[in-house]
Structure 1
């Protein structure tokens, strides 16, 4: 559906040259909800703007539906862009126009009659849950309602792709959740391919089936959501994921509890990650019977990502080092990831080496 091949974007001035995107290649399948995550300045917004050539790449090629956009004439490119909708963090609504007027704006100059435009606007507002706000003005709407208008406007030309550039960053958590749910519904109902740019892995976790992580203009890691979440390779990805799963916050709270700061020589603090069917298996509970290892669960949660259950625990394993190693090897053999949490009073760090 979308192929970015060796994309580079360099901004030149008389005094400086800044390479915002460095040799990035991505493949987004039809019907994907693809997340591109990174901190501010990572180059993700510049990258997404190359998809519809709002930002022409300095090097590389952009293919949408097999069409190389870079070689099209201005008129043909304009027609191809109609198949790619886009929404932004700050909505970009026209204050002087009503909700209906904003949604109808992209339809100006088309072959549709006034009646057909009105019917299309009614349909789109119904789709985004704002049928009763047709005559309202943007100043009369909440942030979430404004974004819904922006989504309806982006869908006016029946696009096949929707680009979302930090579309939920200015919204509160509850509103963000409702907008993400709307996007998921549109993805299913309209077979819409969605690319989401965000600095929040929480957004990716909620809606995306694939993800790419960007840093300093480069994609440092990419893949399907479950694989990246359960086996992140890069330290930046691990940082994003620990924040999204709240495992770091849980570890900090656990280690700041005074009764847990003085573990005995036979105790070890660890984080455990389960995936899929393993999540419902009583593996941890069976460690005492198998190896004589006592397990004290200090924190636990289970999330569902792309219909796959993923469990996270923070536990204390108690027992001799030999038996602990046997128990951890048993867990690993059953596709459970175990990582030791190193601790010194208030210093917390996850040792990313798996325990064998």
Structure 2
């Protein structure tokens, strides 16, 4: 549905070229919830604005439904933009208009009658759960309610695509989950294709089925969400994911309590990662029954991404070295990823501390 081919965006500041986006190629299918994640300055907001040509690329192609919209006339481009809704971090509501008036403004050139506009606005407010707020003003609403109004306004012209630029960054965690649940509902009920820009992998984890990771203007990694979370390739991606899965926070807590990691002669501190059917298998129990290796679990977590379970464990394995090796080989055969964090006799600082986020 959306194809970005070899997109470059270059700005010129004080006669100096700034490459905001470099050679980005992405394909976003119909009804995807596609996350683009990166730290500030990665180029993700610039890239998302290329999709509706609020930012024209320096080079490349922007193809939507098989047509390169860079070739569109101004009239064709206006029509195309009606097919693309957009919501922002700070809502951009008109404070002097009621909630009804804010949404009605988007229908100004829709050709609908006053009665038809009212019916449509009522349906939109019902869809986003704000039927009782249509005569209120933005100043009377919470941040989450304002974002719901912004979503209703973005849907006013029945778009096929919804662009979300840091749409939850100004919201508290509870409200963020509510807005993401609403976006999931709209994706399913309306068949919306959603492109979501964020610096938080936690947000991507909650809603997206595919993700691209950006750094310094380039897409350094992209795949379906399960593949990226279970098999990240780039260091930045691993940093994002370990933060989102809380594994680094757990490891930091363990490091700060040396009594948890004082190892005897037949012990080793290990991190396990596993995905899919492995999470429902009693693998840990089998380590003792088959190899007489005792497992002391210091941290465990299982999450469901796109109906696929993904798990992490930090454990101390106790048993004779040869039996431990057999046990670890057994786990490797079950496609469990293994990372040795510390062995008996090694210094306390061998456990890798969490990377510092930018």
1:122 aligns with 2:129: no
TM-score, reference length from structure 1: 0.96
Question: What is the match of residue 195 of structure 1?
Answer: 195
Question: What is the match of residue 12 of structure 1?
Answer: 12
Question: What is the match of residue 104 of structure 1?
Answer: 104
3-state SS of 1:136 partner: coil
Q: Structure 1 residue 284: deviation in Å?
A: 1.3
Contact 1:7/1:22, CA 8 A, preserved across alignment:
yes
Equivalent runs, 1:158-237 vs 2, <5 Å: 158-237=158-237
3-state SS of 1:349 partner: coil
Contact 1:256/1:345, CA 8 A, preserved across alignment:
no
Question: What is the match of residue 144 of structure 1?
Answer: 144
CA separation in 2, counterparts of 1:317 and 1:350? Answer: 20
Q: Structure 1 residue 186: deviation in Å?
A: 0.2
3-state SS of 1:250 partner: helix
CA separation in 1, counterparts of 2:9 and 2:320? Answer: 56
Q: Structure 1 residue 346: deviation in Å?
A: 5.6
CA separation in 1, counterparts of 2:306 and 2:101? Answer: 37
Q: 1:349 aligns with which of 338, 349, 352?
A: 352
TM-score, reference length from structure 2: 0.95
Q: Structure 1 residue 326: deviation in Å?
A: 2.0
Q: Tell me how many residue pairs correspond in the alignment.
A: 351
Question: What is the match of residue 329 of structure 2?
Answer: 329
Q: Structure 1 residue 306: deviation in Å?
A: 0.5
3-state SS of 1:259 partner: helix
3-state SS of 1:338 partner: strand
Contact 1:341/1:350, CA 8 A, preserved across alignment:
no
Q: Which moved more, 1:183-192 or 1:108-117?
A: 108-117
What is the root-mean-square deviation in Å for CA atoms of aligned residues? Answer: 1.4
Q: Structure 1 residue 329: deviation in Å?
A: 1.6
- 5+ residue gaps, structure 1: 352-356
Q: Structure 1 residue 259: deviation in Å?
A: 1.5
Question: What is the match of residue 354 of structure 1?
Answer: none
Segments ≥4 residues shifted beyond 6 Å? none
Contact 1:339/1:350, CA 8 A, preserved across alignment:
no
- 5+ residue gaps, structure 2: none
Question: What is the match of residue 56 of structure 1?
Answer: 56
Contact 2:110/2:157, CA 8 A, preserved across alignment:
no
Question: What is the match of residue 247 of structure 2?
Answer: 247
CA separation in 2, counterparts of 1:290 and 1:349? Answer: 31
